[in-house]
Amino acid sequence: MRRANGSALLEFAIVWPVALLLVAGSVQLAVWGSEAYSARQAALAGARTGSAADGTAALAESAALRLLQPALVGTSAGAWCPGATGAKPAVWVCAVSNTARIEVRVGGAVPALVPLLPGGGGLPVAADVGLAREVFR
C-alpha cells in the first residue's frame, strides 16, 4: 500500500507541470488570438473612417486607437509611424492618406502571459488595411 502511494505522488509530480503548462499555453493562445483579431478590426475600422469623403489620417488613427485600446491586455497603444522620431509604443497605429487611398497599419508586440521565449520581446500583432477613398460625382 505504501509503495502505491509513493508511486501516485511521483506520477502527480511529473504530470502536474505538463498539465499546468498546457492550460497556461491555451490561455495565452486565446488572449493573443483575441488581440490579433482586435488589431485587424481596428485597422479596418480606421480605414473605413478615413476613407469617408471628409475623412483624414488623423481621424483614421483616432478611430483605430479607440477600438484597439480596450482589447489590449497589459499594454497600451499609441499613434506612431515607422521611420518617425520619438518613442515607439509597444503597439502602434499608423495612418497614411493620399487623394485616392488611405492605409492604416497596426503593429508591435503584446506582452506574453507566460514568458516562454527568452528576451521577453512579446508576441507580435500586425494588421495592414488599405481602402480607396469614397468619391461622389
Per-residue pLDDT of the chain (137 residues; tens, 9 = 90+): 556 677 888 888 999 999 998 998 899 899 999 999 999 999 999 999 999 878 899 999 999 999 999 999 889 999 999 999 989 999 999 999 988 999 999 999 998 877 766 766 788 999 999 999 987 77
| 137 falls within a domain | no
- Model pTM score: 0.84
| 39 falls within a domain | yes
Our count of domains for the chain comes to 1
| 68 falls within a domain | yes
CA 136 to centroid of chain Cα atoms: 35
Q: Which residues contact 32 (CB under 8 A, 6 or more apart)?
A: 110, 112, 123, 125
Domain of 82, in residue numbers: 2-132
Give the span between the Cα atoms of 55 and 119, in whole angstroms: 40
103 φ/ψ angles, rounded to the nearest 5 degrees: -125, 135
| 82 falls within a domain | yes
Please report the pLDDT score of residue 117 as a whole number: 64
Helices 2-51, 57-68: inter-axial angle, 10-degree rounding:
160
